Chains A and B, each alone.
Chain A
Amino acid sequence: MAKVLMKGNEALGEAAIRAGCRFFFGYPITPQSELPHYLAKRLPEIGGVFLQAESEVAAINMVYGAAGAGARVMTSSSSPGVSLKMEGISYIAGAELPCVIVNMQRGGPGLGSIQPGQSDYFQAVKGGGHGDYRLLVLAPASIQEMVDLMGLAFALADKYRNPVMILGDGTLGQMMEPVEFPEMIDPDKLPSKPWAARGAKGREPNIINSLYLNPLELEEHNLKLQAKYAQMAEEETRSESYYTDDAEIVLVGYGSSARVCKAAVDQARQQGIKAGLFRPITLFPFPKAEIQAACRQAKSVLTVEMSMGQLVEDVRYNLEFKVPVHFYGRAGGMVPTTRAVVSKITELVQEGGRSA
Chain B
Amino acid sequence: MITVFERPKSLTPAKTHYCPGCTHGIIHRLVAEVIDELGVREETIGIAPVGCSVLAYNYFNVDMYEAAHGRAPAVATGIKRVHPDKVVFTYQGDGDLAAIGTAEIIHAAARGEKITTIFVNNAIYGMTGGQMAPTTLIGQTATTAPNGRDPEVQGYPIRMSEILATMPGAAYIARVSVHNPQEVAKAKKAVKTAFQVQLERKGFAMVEVLSSCPTNWGLTPLKALEWLKDNMIPYYPLGVQKAPEEVKA
Contacts and interface: CB of A to CB of B under 8 A. Distances in A.
A30 B126 CA distance: 12
Contacts of A27: 99-100
A255 interface: no
B154 interface: yes
Contact of A111 (B68, B131, B132, B147): B68
B128 interface: yes
B100 A52 contact: no
Contacts of A110: 68
B102 A54 contact: yes
Interface stretch (A33-41, A89-97, A184-192, A236-244): A33-41
> SS class of chain B's interface: helix, strand, loop or mixed?
loop
Contact of A33 (B95, B102, B131, B154): B131
B66 A111 contact: yes
Contacts of A28: 95, 125, 128-129, 131, 144
Interface string A43-81: 010000011101111000000000000000000000010
A33 B143 contact: yes
Contacts of A54: 99-100, 102, 134
A323 interface: no
A30 B132 contact: no
Given A36-B144, A111-B50, A30 B100 contact: no
Nearest to A36: B144
A52 B133 CA distance: 9
Contacts of A36: 131, 144
B154 A41 contact: no
B54 interface: yes
Interface string B68-94: 111000000000000000000000000
B146 interface: yes
A174 to B, nearest CB: 13
A52 B132 CA distance: 8
Q: How large is the interface on B (under 10, 10 to 19, 20 to 34, 35 or more residues)?
A: 20 to 34
B145 interface: yes
A29 interface: yes
Given A28-B129, A80-B68, A111-B50, A40 B100 contact: no
Contacts of B95: 28
A40 B54 contact: no
Contacts of A52: 131-132, 144-145, 154
A111 B144 CA distance: 23
A55 B70 contact: yes
A33 B129 contact: yes
Contacts of B70: 55
From B95, B131, B154, residue with most partner A Cβ within 10 Å: B131
A152 to B, nearest CB: 27
Contacts of A29: 128
B99 A37 contact: no
A37 B144 CA distance: 5
B44 to A, nearest CB: 22
From A41, A44, A52, A110, residue with most partner B Cβ within 10 Å: A52
A37 B99 CA distance: 18
Contacts of B69: 55, 80
B147 to A, nearest CB: 8
A346 B154 CA distance: 57
A264 B243 CA distance: 67
Given A37-B144, A55-B99, A111-B54, A30 B68 contact: no
A27 B132 CA distance: 10
A40 B144 contact: yes
Interface in B90-108: 95, 99-102
Interface in A1-40: 27-30, 33, 36-37, 40
A29 B70 CA distance: 13
Contacts of B66: 111
A55 B99 CA distance: 6
A28 B124 CA distance: 11
Nearest to B155: A51
Interface in B105-123: none
A110 B65 CA distance: 13
Given A28-B128, A30-B128, A111-B68, A55 B50 contact: no
A80 B66 CA distance: 14
Given A28-B95, A28-B144, A40-B144, 12 more contacts: A27-B100, A28-B125, A30-B128, A30-B129, A36-B144, A37-B129, A41-B146, A44-B147, A51-B153, A54-B102, A57-B100, A111-B54
Interface of B: 50, 54, 66, 68-70, 95, 99-102, 125, 127-129, 131-132, 134, 143-147, 153-154
Interface of A: 27-30, 33, 36-37, 40-41, 44, 50-52, 54-57, 80, 110-111
